[in-house]
Amino acid sequence: MTTIMKKIGIMGGTFDPIHIGHLILGEAAYQQFQLDRVWFMPAGNPPHKQNRKGRASDEERVEMVRRAIASNPHFDVSMIEMNEDGYTYTYRTLETLRSQNPDTDYYFIIGADSLFDLDQWREPQRILEACHMVVATRNQIPEEQFNQILARRREQYQGDFFQLDTPNLDISSKHLRKMIRGGESVKYYLPDPVIEYINQKQLYMDKSDGGQRCD
């Protein structure tokens, strides 16, 4: 008897804040790989990194993810890493998931910058043994260079690296934090419910200003 494997996409990130780049990647992966669901998995910040100036707290980042995905019936929030104390490592998270759900294939979704950094991640080989890696282009990386790094990583780790079919989405949380701090509008870069929350909590803004808005 053949088991029909469930297919889950995982989009891990700091999501400080979650933006349309993350959401578009999740939806594109859902379509391209015929996934059953896509989980958005916020990384927990170690204690010394919490409540840093100009950053949102763990609770606020999770709340923004919840609001951002609320209108999509096949998106979920995964609190696995957020609920761990201290550092979490992707390989451990994926290995735990695999042992708990042996009938599920995991598709870990990343941008090209993360593919470049993969050597610095803890136990990349074990990550590739536990999931398929789905990679989106980013930062205007030329096609040829993107293909080269994909080929290199396939050779290094003998894992599945798939290219996600998305346009270059020139958007980052870092740049959005800067725009908000500078009083610029971020409308359409973030879903409206996330913008409302940022305004309500005055996130990323100069708090002394009081009633600043980013729409």
Q: Which residue bears the tokens 């993810």?
A: 65
Does 124 participate in binding ligand ATP (rule CB under 6 A)?
Answer: no
Binders in 167-206 for ligand ATP, by CB under 6 A: 169, 171-174
Tell me how far apart the alpha carbons of residues 72 and 197 are, in angstroms, rounded to a whole number: 18
Applying CB under 6 A, which of residues 111, 118, 124, 130 lies at the interface with ligand ATP? 111
Per DSSP, the residues of 148-202 read: HHHHHHHHHH---EEE---------HHHHHHHHHTT---BTTB-HHHHHHHHHHT
**Least distance between ligand ATP and beta carbon 107 (Å):** 13
Instruction: Provide, rounded to whole angstroms, the least separation between the CB of residue 171 and ligand ATP.
Output: 5
Minimum distance of ligand ATP from residue 177's CB (angstroms): 7
Q: Is the link from the previous residue into 17 a cis peptide, with omega within 30 of 0? A: yes
Could you give the string, one character per residue 153-172, with x where binding to ligand ATP holds by CB under 6 A and - elsewhere?
Answer: ----------------x-xx
Judged by the rule CB under 6 A, the positions of this chain that interact with ligand ATP are 13-16, 21-22, 25, 110-111, 113-114, 136, 138, 169, 171-174
